[in-house]
Each structure stands twice: as C-alpha cells, then as structure tokens.
Amino acid sequence: MSGYFLYHSIGMFPDKQQRIAAELNRFATAWGREDDGQWGYALEQQCKFLEGWRAILNAGEGSVAQAESVTSALYTILRGLPEATVRGGKVLIAADCFPSLHFLLAETIRRLGGELVTVPAAAGEAWVSDEQMLAAWDGNVRVAILTWVTSTSSHRSDVARLVAHGRQMGTLTGIDVTQGIGIARYDCQAIGADFTIGSSLKWLCGVSGAAVIHATQELIARCTPELRGWFSQQNPFSWDLDAFEFAPDARRFGNGTPSVLPAIGSLPGLDFVRDTGLEALAADNAAKGAELADWIAGSGLRLLSPADAAQRGGSLMVELPDSMDATEVVNSLRAQALHTDARGRVLRLSPGIVTGMEEVTRLTECLSSMLGQKAEV
C-alpha cells in the first residue's frame, strides 16, 4: 500500500484488513452465538464507536449519534428543526461543498419554503473563500452549512471565524468535517457550531455507513426529527403507541433498529488514529505533502489547493493540462501501483501513514515523465 494516495476517499492504516477482519469475526461470533447476548454486545460496540468520535471532537456526553451518511445526518437535522426555522429565509452553502449535500438541500429547502443560496468562488479561484461566504451571509440566513476542508481543493476554512459571524447574524451553523477529521485538530466546543456532521471513511480509516451527528444541547432540545423510531426514545423498549417520547440527548437522532455493523467495522480505524496520535499523523502527512507541493511548484501544473499548508487539509489537488486525459493518467499510475483519482481534470493526491516517502518521489517522477512525453508530442 506504499503507493496509496487516496485518503480523501478511503483511509488506510497498517494491517487494516487483518484488524477489521478480527473485529468483524468477533461480531460474527457474538451474533451467531445461541444465547441472548447479541444485542448487548452489539450496542456496547456501537457505544465504543460513539465514544471514539466524542473524544476526537471533544464533544460533551450525550451529544453524538450515529447516522448512515453525512447526507442523512444533514437531513435528520433539517427535518428535525421547526419548519419556521427555514420558511421565508435563506440556507447558505458554498459551491465547493460535497455535492451530495447540495443535492439534498436543493429539494429539502424548497419543500421547507426557504431559499438555497449557493456561494460561488471568485472568478479564477479554485475554492470559495471565507470572504466570499461572509459577503453573502446576511441576517436572513437561517442555516449555514460550512465545509471545513473541501474535497475538490483541500481548502481549509476558518470555521471558528465563520461560526462567530453566524452567531452575530442569528444563524444556525453546521459543519461538514469529513475531509479534515483525523488529520487536523477539531474541537467542537471551541468552535461552537450548532451541529457537526462527518464520516468515518476518510482519514479516520473506517467504513461506509458510519457517519455521525454532533449537536449542542440547545439544538437537541429544538429538534424533533421527522425520521424517528423506537431507538429515538429514552427507553427503546417503551412500546406504548400513544406515549412516544424523544430521548433528551443525541439519541433522539436515532430512528429504527440501529445499524451497528458499520460502527463496529470502523472501530479499528478509530483506535489506530487514537493510538498513533493526531500530531504524529499530521506531521507525517505534512512532510509528504511538502514534497508534493515542491514538485508541483516546478512542474508547470496549476495547484488547485492553497499554497500555504496551514490553509489546506491533508490533500493536494492539481489541474492536468488539456492535452492529458485524466483517466489515462490515473490508469497509468495504477499500473505502476500508484493509486490516485481524478474529478474531471483535477488530479487528487492524499498521502497518509501507509504512503511511502519514496513512493511520493516515484509518483512525481512518473508524472514528470508523462508531462515530458506530452510536451514532446
């Protein structure tokens, strides 16, 4: 895996296959045992997953719940708020958000009677700047969805500054932390957003289906989620059809029978990040990112990520020239055991702990060779 540059997609760590297999084997043993301990085991493991996320976010007790995806997490919040929250007002999001969130908002905000405002990047810029967001953010913005680190440029927003502005405007503010969590420090209490949503899939090295919602106690009290079920209750085993009552904490964001398997499959990744330490992981990524950035600066390619490492996440994105077919580039690199991907002509490079420094050099040499061949043609 030393040629792996896909942490923006799926995170890796040493012995990942074996460690996840061992965790899932323990699940299979408990789930297949002919006794009554299956749910006790499974829910205890889900609790470990939520506690792992709570530690990473520096979140308060009872403030984190599991969701199927970041998109479903956002839907749960929006449809849990009183409808008057959005009706007649604006919902703000940047154009370089994760597209799935925009797909959701386009229809959901229309149904709620609000206006979706999508903030574009300035002409010639590769990301939506904090200044662009602030310029579009007035007192009629009821909800703002911020992207901490973008998946298209790795631009890192100053979310604390944006949240502070939102507080002045009377806006509910939520942050998608998916592309930054696990490679940069995020403290939900210090930042102060009303809610945070994120996935275990990227730098946290988990599996799909293991997203989370964090919400402040004030927001939890305001939310009565439309999508609800027996696990939304303080006591899931209260089956009185006329006495449904939401749990007083983030458990109200649950609904039907919980999907415990993704949480269990994500435990080894969470444990790895915790045991290795965020500082060590960030330092490793920074060294590899610096070598990539130095090569890009001399390559003639356009860097689509901030040149200042402090203003980006763990990835670097470059724009391939019109003369190069991105699919051919990715396939050629794959044939040499160098794993990347592209969105349009944007080549995305995300080195992590399993990525060898020597493979960073080999990647740049391969790309240099491809560029040279195109120049000769």
Asked whether 231 and 93 are in contact (CB, 8 A), the reply is no
- The pLDDT tens digits for 157-166 are 999 999 999 9
DSSP 238-251: ---TT---B-SSGG
pLDDT averaged over the chain? Answer: 96
- The pLDDT tens digits for 292-332 are 999 999 999 999 999 999 999 999 999 999 999 999 999 99
Largest CA distance in the chain: 76
| Mean pLDDT value across residues 41-51 | 98
CA distances (Å), origin 188, targets 13, 15, 257 = 25, 31, 28
Query: What pTM, to 2 d.p., does this model score?
Result: 0.96
- Is the pLDDT reported for residue 366 higher than 60? yes
The β-bridge relationship of strands 316-319 and 346-349 is antiparallel
| Mean pLDDT value across residues 351-360 | 97
Asked whether 309 and 290 are in contact (CB, 8 A), the reply is yes
Question: Cα 131–145–209 angle (5° rounding)?
Answer: 135
> Strand order of the sheet with strand 346-349?
302-303, 316-319, 346-349, 341-343
pLDDT band at residue 374 using 50, 70 and 90 as cut-offs: low
- Within 110-253, strands assigned E span 115-119, 141-147, 172-176, 195-199, 211-215
In the chain the domains, ranked by start, together with CATH numbers, are 16-274 (3.40.640.10), 277-376 (3.90.1150.10)
